[in-house]
A and B are shown apart, each in its own frame.
Chain A
Amino acid sequence: MYSVLGLGFSMLWKNRLITCGQAGFYAVGAYTSALLVMKLGLSFWIALPVAGLASALFALLIFSAALKAGPLVFFGMSLVSGFIVLEVLGAVKFFGGWEGLMDIPSPSFGPFVFCSKTSYYYLALFLLVVNIVVYAALYKSRIGRAWTAIGSSVRLAEAQGINVYRYRLAASLIACFFAGVIGSFYAHFQNMLVPNTFSFLLSIYVQMFALIGGLSYFIAGPIVGAVVMVFLPESLRIAAELQPILFAVLIILLVIFLPGGILSLPERFPRLVDIFK
């Protein structure tokens, strides 16, 4: 689940765009889906893609102007959008207010209802795989090459005829679409939504997934990072209040000693690989 958010950040980073608002788009997807199912009685399987589209639409609204002004304004707007979403969700009664939405129905497939942890696990895995397949196809195509070009040198990319604005916008819409889809999954998995889940801290965590895994590994990086970040605190069994501090220390150590992320280990220490061979 977190991997999907991390992948979105990674895609934008490929365009040298830094987003601080993945949590906001995640929330848009989650609430859209929950409300569609609860108020309109739609099936989860329809609400899932619609949640993605709603999130992408919200991204279009926010970023179509911001990207015209450049990557710095994009960064700022992504930050602001996260806070706006949070405040709106908390303040408006229709969205359940700060207490949140309760009793969101679990998805069912024919007679089969997703209720066990395992079935949710497979559903999440399926969504992640779809996400990976789509991103891998994009990265392999000329679209991915254009993104790499933009990330490498905006001026040269423009001189070669790449519409930088359009490609960056496309990347942010796709990233937000998947954030919305996974938000929808989260809503029905938890059966309840509270605005504070989608706080700014989550957006920061998303960045850390990509950073820990390795920023230059656009697909494997965020996945490895998310796995490490989720399992590490559990295995250490430390208090939730201490987690941010642990992560902060971890990030500082990582940036100093391993700026390429976990996946750059074999490259950085070739001898380590030899030992395992």
Chain B
Amino acid sequence: MLEIKGLTKYFGGLAAVNDLNMDVFKSEILGLIGPNGAGKTTLFDLISGFFPSTGGEVTFNGEIISGLRPHEIARKGIGRTFQQSVLFMGSTVFDNVFTGFHIRYRTGVLQQFFHTYAVRNEEKALRQNTMEILELMGLAQMKDELAENLPHGHQRILSICIALASNPELLLLDEPVTGMNPEETQNAIELVRQLREKGMTIVIVEHDMKAVMSLCDRIVVLNHGQKIAQGPPEEIRENKQVIEAYLGAKEENAFRD
């Protein structure tokens, strides 16, 4: 579904992502792990068009998407969240999701301007859709709260809700459970699973190993911008190279938790 070939990104003389090749298959949950500074978030920014790449290409559903602007890539069906909770601050939970629908409107600018019957119907459907997303993700009771007043865990979930509003085929989640307590994490894992069951393909960057190991079908390990291993969680857990990269070959138990 998503193919990355020879993707390279230099920041000055430093290669954040270096000649990376990897694929994402339809309806899988792919984990992307690696030590800090391995280039995981940079990779997300490259896929979603926030940084131009230095070399290589990204293909999505057979179409080259590298070089497109972020909003064009969003229109192709790639949604993403950000590492920090980037939300529409100052708006309610409901409006955060409702604002996210931008690319789903089918009515034209003139119709919008005159607020025609078609627009009202469309907005009604989208409002309903907003509630469906909030209910699915368990935020329905908080729909009138301001985004900035939510506890951290709920903010992370809300950022996923916003991404869902554009109905993406491929969802890139940047550290979705970071900073959550174990209970919240478990809940978030269940929610991501549900999304996959609906046919969505998901790529996750996450430091919480327990969460990654239990959630992902496949894991790709990055270090210094290069892929050092890929495979199912059980394999990655035993991979010498991975353990070395992560822990300087010391605490092998960290993966077992």
Contact = CB atoms under 8 A, between A and B. Distances in A.
B153 interface: no
A159 B48 contact: yes
Interface string B60-75: 0000000001110011
B36 interface: no
B102 A149 contact: yes
Interface residues of B, number: 33
Contact of B79 (A140, A152, A157, A159): A159
**Which of A142, A143, A160, A164 lies at the interface centre, i.e. has the most chain B CB atoms within 10 A of its CB?**
A160
A159 B163 CA distance: 8
Contact of B88 (A141, A153, A163): A153
Contacts of A157: 102
B86 A156 contact: yes
A174 to B, nearest CB: 11
Nearest to B163: A159
A135 to B, nearest CB: 11
Contact of A155 (B82, B101, B102, B119): B82
Contact of B89 (A141, A152, A155, A158): A152
Contact of B75 (A141, A142, A161): A161
B58 to A, nearest CB: 16
B149 interface: no
B102 A141 contact: no
B162 interface: yes
Nearest to B76: A161
Interface in A124-145: 137-138, 140-143, 145
B91 interface: yes
Given A158-B74, A159-B74, A161-B75, A149 B88 contact: yes
Nearest to B48: A159
B2 interface: no
A145 B113 contact: no
A141 B86 contact: no
Contacts of A152: 88-91
A159 B86 CA distance: 11
A248 B185 CA distance: 52
B71 A156 contact: no
Contacts of A53: none
B71 A141 contact: no
B112 interface: yes
A141 to B, nearest CB: 4
Interface string A27-42: 0000000000000000
Interface in B196-211: none
B103 interface: yes
Interface string B142-181: 0000000000000000000011011000000000000000
Contacts of B112: 141-143
Contacts of A137: 113-115
A155 B86 contact: yes
A157 B69 CA distance: 12
Interface of A: 137-138, 140-143, 145-146, 148-149, 152-153, 155-164
Interface of B: 48, 50, 69-71, 74-75, 79-80, 82, 86-91, 98-103, 105, 109, 112-115, 119, 162-163, 165-166
